[in-house]
Structure 1
């Protein structure tokens, strides 16, 4: 290798090192800019959320839901399904359970 090629190679290596250091520096700046809270504050936030948001998976706090209060089931569909089941009417349904 000639001396000019060696110098160009060294410059490229130095440029790549500088680029890597700048990327690391930017990552550290971004990390420093993140909002941080202490663990005790995070726990207090969790406790506050649990105490103010109804969640029936915590029956110790909120008790058990009322029998027909499931908001994931559309009441009109549920009542028609119950009526069909009581009448053994499967003609209007799309499926048969055996």
Structure 2
């Protein structure tokens, strides 16, 4: 009886090790992107995408649709 329990435990341990091995193989095959390339892509995206919450970069404040709210209420707007 004790022998069977040890065999079952050993089999469960083997299954876990095999599963972990498969996971590691899958991670090994994943394509990697160098940090320099990823950061360059992020910089390019930030420079080309307009952010309405940063109007000073994209033009004068009169073109910002958040400015009338600030002038009217004379306080900060929390979004």
Q: TM-score range by the shorter chain?
A: 0.5 to 0.7
1:10 pairs with one of 6, 12, 30: 6
TM-score, normalised by the number of residues in structure 1? 0.52
1:1-98 alignment runs, 5 A limit: 5-64=1-60, 66-68=63-65
- What SS does structure 2 have at the residue aligned with 1:32? helix
In 2, Cα distance between the equivalents of 1:30 and 1:11? Answer: 29
Structure with greater proportional helix content: 2
Give the secondary-structure state (helix, strand or coil) at the position aligned to 1:57.
coil
Given the two structures, how large is their TM-score scaled by the length of structure 2? 0.61
Unaligned runs of 5+ in 1: 71-98
Q: Which runs of 4+ in 1 moved over 4 A?
A: none
Using CA pairs below 8 Å that are at least 6 residues apart, which structure has the higher relative contact order?
2
